[in-house]
Amino acid sequence: MYIIAGLGNPTSQYDRTRHNVGFDAIDILSKEYGIKVNTIKHKGLCGSGVIGGEKVVLIKPMTYMNLSGEAVAEAVNFYKINPEEELIVIFDDISLEPGRLRLRRKGSAGGHNGIKNIIAMTGTDGFKRIKVGVGEKPEGWDLADYVLGRFNKEDRKKVDDALTRAGEAVKVILQEGFDRAMNKFN
């Protein structure tokens, strides 16, 4: 069984912002595999189903980005999964240009507060990640203003394509393994 967490902020004011690409990815997986993500559980919106022959729980933490680990750790503990083997987190990365994907097996938070909180709450940095590039903040911009802003039309199209590929990457991870997914999508 896998937990697939897409990071973002609740409420409509954050819909389709750079920081909410994780939520967007969960919405794509939900639609693609007919998994309704509408149950309030583990401090998040959850839904369970099957992707690539594997049982999954999709979760969108409702704790706001900086406390994402509260929801993720609660789900990890409830389902008694090993986060180093059965947790996939999808989130935004400002160090990647819009539309790029990078899959990583483990690593530091890299300045991302949601990831920092997941590491703190689960006690490991060894969980699988799908990073979706949202681009670097322009010089002189406040980082929070940038990540909470929306994409221009051209970047939105690139990111939407990347989100589709992120959904495909999840299926490859579940069916063929993480190394195969890294080779295919990095």
Query: Catalytic amino acids?
Result: 19
CA dihedral of 177, 182, 183, 186, whole degrees rounded to 10: 160
Contacts of 74 (CB under 8 A, 6+ apart): 42, 43
Cβ-defined contacts of 47-52 (< 8 Å, 24+): 51/4, 51/170, 51/171, 51/174, 52/170, 52/171, 52/172, 52/174, 52/175
Angle, CA 130 vertex, CA 125 and CA 136 arms, to 5°: 100
